Amino acid sequence: MATIKDVARAAGLSTATVSRVLNDHPSVTAATRAAVQDAIQRLDYHPNSAARTLRSADVSTLGLVVGDVVNPFFSELARAVENEARAHGYYVVIGNADEDPDRQDEYLSILLDRRVAGLLLCPTAEVSPLVADVVRGGRPVVFVDREIDGLDVPVVRSDSRLPVTALVDHLVRLGHRDPAIISGPTGLSTGRERLAAFRDALATHGIGLPESRVRVGDFQMDSGVAAMRSLLDQPEPPTAVFAADNLMALGALRCVHERGLRLGTDIALASFDDLPWFEYVEPPITAIRQQTERIGRTAVRELVALLDGRPARSHALPCTLVTRASCGEPVPGGEG
Amino acid sequence: MATIKDVARAAGLSTATVSRVLNDHPSVTAATRAAVQDAIQRLDYHPNSAARTLRSADVSTLGLVVGDVVNPFFSELARAVENEARAHGYYVVIGNADEDPDRQDEYLSILLDRRVAGLLLCPTAEVSPLVADVVRGGRPVVFVDREIDGLDVPVVRSDSRLPVTALVDHLVRLGHRDPAIISGPTGLSTGRERLAAFRDALATHGIGLPESRVRVGDFQMDSGVAAMRSLLDQPEPPTAVFAADNLMALGALRCVHERGLRLGTDIALASFDDLPWFEYVEPPITAIRQQTERIGRTAVRELVALLDGRPARSHALPCTLVTRASCGEPVPGGEG
DNA sequence: AAGATCGATGTAAACGATTCCACGCAATCC
DNA sequence: GGATTGCGTGGAATCGTTTACATCGATCTT
C-alpha cells in the first residue's frame, strides 16, 4: 500500500508538502497541489489513519458501553446518544456488555485503547476495579441509567421513586393488596432503587413485601419468565406483578400466556419502561415511561461539557406512569 | 496519559520488556512480569492502539455496522455476532448507520481507521464509493442481511422468496384478493427481493400488484404509520397488508389502532421478521421468522474464515412462516 | 575449567503520518 | 540598494509501539 513517501517521491516533493495538501493547509501553490493530487490518484494512495491518530490524537469519537443492546431501552438510548453526539461533532462507537461485568470491562478497555475522547457507561456491576481506575484516572466519563456508590461521576438517569409510588397507589386503588415485584439485580443501582421505592410505597399503605413477593431477575427476558413462574407456583400467588424492566415484563407476559391466564383479570402486570407495543397488547400494559431520549441527550451534553473543560452535573429525570388496562381497570384516556 | 516509557521507567525496565509482558511473550521472568503488571496498575496504563496498529495491525477486534440499532432484528443480530465473535477470540465494536448511507460511510471510515481486523456490514445503500473501495482494497468484509449488486463479497442473509410465497398462499387462502405491501427501500436488496417475491407470488394466483397496493417505507417505524395511513385512505383500501420489516409492521399496527380498526377482521397484517411480542397482541400477528441468530453466527464464521486466509462463501438461510390470527383465521397450533 | 548454549533483558530502528523550524527567494520598505 | 517581510517548501523530530539484534550472566558440555 502506498505511503506518503511514495506520493512525495512520485510528485518530486517532500512528505511535508504532501501532508499539507492532504490537510488543506493554505500555503501550497495551486500547481503543487495539483501535482500532489495527481500522484495520489496515480498511486491510489489512502492515508494510514493509525499513523495519523498516533501523531495527533483522535478527538472525534465517543465510546458508549450499554448494558444490553437487545434491550429496547438501551437501543433507544444508543440512538439518542448518537444523534446528540453528532450534533456536537462526535461519532459514537458502541460496546455491548450484555449485562456481564467482565464484558463491560473488556469493552471499556478496548474503547480506552482506541483513544476515544470520552466515555458513556451504563455500569453493569457495583464493583469494577477497572471502572474505578478509569474514573480516578481523570478520564472524561459519564454514567447513564445506573450509578456506582462511592464514585464521584456525573450520572444521568431516571428518578424512579415518584413513578413507582404512583404505580403502587394505582395498584392499591384497584384492590391489589399483595403485589409482587420482579426486581432487577440488587447489585445495580436501578435494581435496588426500584425495589426500595416499591417496598416503601407499599409500606405507606400498610402493606408489607415478604420474600414470597420478591423475585430477583437480571433485566433480561428469560429471568422474567422464570420469576413469573416461580411467583405463580406459590400456594397463594400474587394478584399483581411489577416487572422492573421491559424485558422481564415481556418474559412475565410469556409466562402468563403459557398458563392461559387472562391479563388484567386473572393477573395484573405493570412494567418499568414503556414500549410502543405495550399499547397493542390485550389488555394494554400499564408502564412507567422513562424519557429515554432525553437521558441520552443529556448524558452526551454532560460528557461534552467535561471534554470542554466545563463542570458536569448529575440529573435524575422524571418519569410518567402510563396507566392502561393491564392492572384490572380499563382507564379511559389512559395515555398520560 | 501514561505511555509504555512511563511504565518502563516506573518498573525500572526497558520498553521492550514491558512490551513483551503486554504481548505475553514467553521469555519474561514471573518476577519481571509482576513488576510490570504492578506499574501498569499504578499508572492506569492503556496501550495506545494507534501506535500498536501502526507497527503491527490489530487483530483482535471486528467492526459491525448495522442498519439501525433500534430495529430488534439488528440488535439481536448484534448480540449473535458478538457471541460468535467472542468464541473465536474477537471483540466487536458497533457502529449505527441509522439507515443513513452517509452515516454508514462515516462509521465504515472510523472502524477502518481504527484498523479493525475485519468488517461485518449491513449496507444501507446500493452505491457507496467507499464500500466499493474497501472491498476492492481487499479488506476482509462480509455483508449481512443485504447485498450490493456487482460487489463480489460473501453475503449472509435470509432467503425471502419461499416464505413470502407461503405467506401469499396463506393470504389468498383466507380470501384476500388484493393484498398490499409496505415495502422497504428499493435501493436495498432486501427491499427489492421481498417486493419482487410478493409480486411474483401474487402473480401465480392471477393477482396483480398495482401502484395503489404498494407503499415504500424506510424500514423504520414512522414510515410504517405513514404508509398504512396512505393505504387505508384510498377509496378502496386493501383487506390485507404485508409489512416488509418489523418496525414498519409496528407502525402499521399503530395506524390500525388510531383508526379503531380490528386486526384480523377489518384489516389483515403480516410482517417480515417475527418478534416475541407478536404472539401477545390481540389477535397475534402472522410473521415470517428469520433465523437471526444463525445469520449473525454464520456471518462471523465466514469473516473468520476470510481472516484465516480460507475462502468464504455466501449463505441464503431459510425462514419460516409463523401463521397466527392477524390475517383473519385463527389457526390452531399456529406456531410453526 | 573454558567455551558453547540459552534465557532474560536492553538498544535502537522501524511503522506513516504531522508539524516546528529553517531556508531560499521574491517583493517590499526606507 | 541593503534590510525586512512573507511565502512556499524541505529537513527532521516526533507520536507510542513492536521487534530484530546485541548483550550479558548463568548453566551446561566435555
Mean pLDDT per 10-residue run, chain B (336 residues)?
92 94 91 94 87 81 93 97 93 91 86 80 85 79 94 95 98 96 96 97 97 97 98 97 98 96 95 95 95 98 92 97 87 47
Domain A61-156+292-317 is in which class? Answer: alpha beta
| pLDDT number for residue B127 | 79
pLDDT given at position A336:
42
What is the pLDDT averaged over residues A108-131?
Answer: 84
Q: Provide CATH 3.40.50.2300 ranges for chain B.
A: 61-156+293-317, 161-290
Q: Please check whether residue B140 is in contact with residue B306, taking contact to mean a CB–CB distance below 8 angstroms.
A: yes
CA B334 – CA B89 distance, rounded (Å): 40
- Say yes or no: B254 contacts chain A, CB-CB below 8 A: yes
CATH superfamily assigned to domain B161-290: Response regulator (3.40.50.2300)
**How far apart are alpha carbons B186 and A36 in whole angstroms?**
40
| Closest in A95, A221, A282 to B282, CB measured | A282
Q: How far apart are CA B94 and CA A91, in angstroms?
A: 11
CATH 1.10.260.40 maps onto chain B at: 4-47
CA–CA distances in Å: residue A228 to residues A171, A184, A257, A269, B164:
18, 13, 11, 10, 36
Query: Cell 440512538 maps to which residue?
Result: A79
- Assign domain A4-55 to its CATH architecture: Orthogonal Bundle (1.10)
Q: Are the beta carbons of A96 and B79 separated by less than 8 Å?
A: yes
Distance from CA(A166) to C1'(C7), angstroms, rounded: 70
pLDDT at A335 over 70: no
List, as ranges, residues 130-149 from B with C-beta within 8 Å of A. 133, 137
CA-nearest of A319, A62, A286 to A179 is A286
Do the beta carbons of residue A124 and residue A100 sit within 8 Å? Answer: yes
Of B79, B93, B279, the CB nearest to A94: B93
CATH class of B4-47: mainly alpha
User: CB distance B70–A79 less than 8 Å?
Assistant: yes
Whether CB of B20 is under 7 Å from strand C: the answer is yes
* pLDDT score, position A71: 96
Work out if B28's Cβ lies within 7 angstroms of strand C.
yes
CA of B103 to C1' of C19 (A): 31
E strand segments, chain A: 61-66, 91-96, 118-121, 141-144, 155-158, 180-183, 214-216, 240-243, 268-272, 286-289, 315-317, 320-322
CA distances from B318 to A179, B156, B164, B276 (A): 44, 11, 11, 19
Test mutation, B4, B6, B48, B74, chain A, max A CBs within 10 A:
B48
B196 in reach of chain A (CB within 8 A): no
Cβ pairs A/B, distance under 8 A? 131
pLDDT tens digits, one per residue of A154-203: 999 999 999 999 999 999 999 999 999 999 999 999 999 999 999 999 99
> Cα dihedral sign for B55, B56, B60, B65?
positive
Other residues' Cβ atoms within 10 Å of the Cβ of residue A314: 15
The gap between B12 CA and D18 C1' (Å) is 19
- Pick among A59, A94, A116 to test the B interface (most B CBs inside 10 A): A94
Say if residue A284 is exposed, middle or buried (CB neighbours under 10 Å; 0-12, 13-18, 19+): buried
Q: Does A262 touch chain B (CB under 8 A)?
A: no
Strands B320-322 and B286-289: antiparallel
In B188-333, alpha helices (H): 189-204, 221-232, 246-258, 292-307
Q: What is the mean pLDDT of residues A78-88?
A: 95
Q: Which residue has the cell 444501507?
A: B124
* pLDDT at residue A219, as a whole number: 96
* C-alpha span between A128 and A141 (Å, rounded): 15
Give the class (CATH, top level) of B61-156+293-317. alpha beta
> Which residue, A325, A300, A323, is CA-closest to A144?
A300
Residues of chain A with CATH 3.40.50.2300: 61-156+292-317, 161-290
A254 Cβ under 8 Å from any chain B Cβ: yes
Considering chain A, what percentage of its residues have pLDDT values greater than 70?
Answer: 97
Cell of B246: 418489523
B269: phi then psi, degrees, rounded to nearest 5: -140, 135
